[in-house]
A and B are shown apart, each in its own frame.
Chain A
Amino acid sequence: MNTMTILIADDDPVIRKLFEKRLEKEGYNVTVAADGTEAAGLLDTMPFDVVITDLVMPGEIGGIELLNIAKEKNIEIEVIVITAHSSVDTAVDAMKKGAVDYLEKPVNFDELFLRLEKISEVKALMKSAGDLREAMDVTESSAAQTIQDLEIINSHLLMQLEKLEEILSNSHQDEYSRIEQALQFLESR
């Protein structure tokens, strides 16, 4: 089952509708925006796993700007940019800025589904690695507390033993006063 939430930003209503229909059929949770500004607003209100955006859109926020906004919002959001064949250079530029992939128009949906599956797999692996690390951290910090307590106690006891040894082996005093002093030291701990 595909549980990823996807935001589509495209100013062409026909393409928007097509994306929505095909992706929902695959089981994805899809939200659409008619331009960059609307998409940016949606990013503020709900969490998305993936943003698929047209590179060229009317208004102040184009594909690249939306990419920056999404990454700024949450670095884990993956962005796929859609580009006309003639502007592949811009798409490559987008990837340098952090987009995970680009698709050329007209969009081949089988190709898109494959890339989404890959993204989903990577996210699952990241989650699993994160869970493992979390489990390791919890184990580690609880073990650390125990070990540190023992380390301190052990060091105190060693110092006391040394002190006792010093008192008991003091040849300037008779045995009785050595024992008395040792007992006093033990009581004062």
Chain B
Amino acid sequence: MLKISTEEIKLITKYIYEISGIHLDESKKYLLETRLNVLAEEQGCFSYQDFCKKAKADATKVIERKIIDAISTNETLFFRDTGPFELLRHKIFPELIDARSSKSPHLKTSLKVWSAASSTGQELYSVAIVLQELLGDLSKYTIKLSGTDISDAAVSQASSGKYNKFEIERGLARDKLTKYFTMNGQTWKVNDQLRSMVNFRKLNLMLPFTGLGKFDIVLCRNVAIYFTLEDRKKLFNKIADVLEPDGYLIIGSTESLTGICPRFIPKRHLRSIFYQLQ
């Protein structure tokens, strides 16, 4: 395996930061080596310095994309941490639907949800399942569920709605599994109805959110932890800009916005916290 020098760690972590905003330090040497070794060798590089140079020079950005796929963490589950989904089901969706339908009773009630780091899609499909079970007949609503992620590989898997048995068996109860997925060999595929509710595309959270529109609910869970404090501040400020005035923000259960974005006020419901604009 290619060894990485201290100098090279600096070089490559700087490059990764530039292309993705993911902040890694010297302590992540092992992670860099195990995740990038195959790519470096695939490119016929004899050092990480060489590899970094090659990636920067690649106008097709193929190497850049592969590095992002390799370095981003796609740990996710259907209904990972039940708290947020209980929150959506029992508090946020009912409140929002009430507010929206009383405001314009003659229009279809519209709900816009954004999963800001959707990874391989499990979070957004879980939201779709919650909505489907809560509302039943969805024809009375205009529902827009958007997922974005920095990794092309993650976005493409999310869009395909296909999961292997290891990905699917955890977190998803048997009745939901058979109701919303179809098995084909060792793969489970999400049913068309659920698939048609969601939309995934690539987005680097470090860049401006132009053309994204406004959202009633933003889920931004367990992604800001990979960013520097400065970048977290910028990120949550931009999220505040795309959130409807009475919208809801949900972050990871061990994350905090203290000292990061004073525009958000934390509120508690049962065992979960959500944020709303001041």
A contact set with B: CB distance below 8 Å: 75-76, 95-98, 126, 129-130, 133, 137, 140-141, 143-145, 147-148, 150-152, 154-155, 158
**Contact of A152 with B268 in the complex, beta carbons under 8 Å:** yes
* Chain A residue nearest to B178 in the complex (CB): A72
Q: Mark B180-199, 1 if CB is under 8 A from A, else 0.
A: 00011110000000000000
Contacts of A75 in B (CB 8 A): 165, 169, 174
Q: With contacts A140-B81, A155-B266 known, is A126 near B273, CB below 8 A? A: no
Chain A to chain B: the 10 pairs with minimum beta-carbon distance, closest first: A144-B253, A96-B185, A143-B254, A148-B273, A151-B266, A144-B254, A155-B266, A154-B258, A151-B256, A147-B256
Contacts of A150 in B (CB 8 A): 256, 258
Contacts of B268 in A (CB 8 A): 148, 152
Expressed in whole angstroms, the Cα–Cα distance for A129 and B265 within the complex equals: 36
**How many A-B contacts at CB < 8 Å in the complex?**
53
Expressed in whole angstroms, the Cα–Cα distance for A150 and B183 within the complex equals: 44
**Contact of B184 with A151 in the complex, beta carbons under 8 Å:** no
Contacts of B272 in A (CB 8 A): 148
Tell me how far the C-beta of B101 lies from the nearest C-beta in chain A, rounded to whole angstroms.
30
CB interface residues, B 61-84, toward A, < 8 Å: 81, 83
Expressed in whole angstroms, the Cα–Cα distance for A63 and B257 within the complex equals: 56
Expressed in whole angstroms, the Cα–Cα distance for A75 and B163 within the complex equals: 14
Q: Mark B145-176, 1 if CB is under 8 A from A, else 0.
A: 00000000000000000000110011000100
Contacts A75-B165, A97-B185 known; list 6 others, CB within 8 Å.
A96-B184, A126-B166, A147-B253, A148-B273, A151-B257, A154-B258
Contacts of B183 in A (CB 8 A): 97-98
Tell me how far the C-beta of B49 lies from the nearest C-beta in chain A, rounded to whole angstroms.
34
Contacts of B256 in A (CB 8 A): 147, 150-151
B contact set with A: CB distance below 8 Å: 81, 83, 165-166, 169-170, 174, 183-186, 253-258, 262, 265-266, 268, 271-273
Expressed in whole angstroms, the Cα–Cα distance for A126 and B167 within the complex equals: 11
Q: With contacts A98-B186, A152-B268, A155-B266 known, is A76 near B254, CB below 8 A? A: no
Tell me how far the C-beta of B39 lies from the nearest C-beta in chain A, rounded to whole angstroms.
24
Expressed in whole angstroms, the Cα–Cα distance for A147 and B256 within the complex equals: 7
Tell me how far the C-beta of A166 lies from the nearest C-beta in chain B, rounded to whole angstroms.
15
Contacts of B184 in A (CB 8 A): 96
* Chain A residue nearest to B183 in the complex (CB): A98
* Chain A residue nearest to B253 in the complex (CB): A144
Expressed in whole angstroms, the Cα–Cα distance for A76 and B183 within the complex equals: 14
Tell me how far the C-beta of B189 lies from the nearest C-beta in chain A, rounded to whole angstroms.
13
**Contact of B273 with A151 in the complex, beta carbons under 8 Å:** yes
Among A95, A137, A144: residue with most chain B CB under 10 A: A144
| Complex A-B: 24 CB contacts under 8 Å | A75-B169, A75-B174, A96-B184, A98-B186, A126-B166, A130-B170, A133-B170, A137-B81, A140-B254, A143-B253, A143-B254, A144-B81, A144-B83, A144-B253, A147-B253, A148-B266, A150-B256, A150-B258, A151-B257, A151-B258, A151-B273, A152-B266, A155-B265, A158-B262
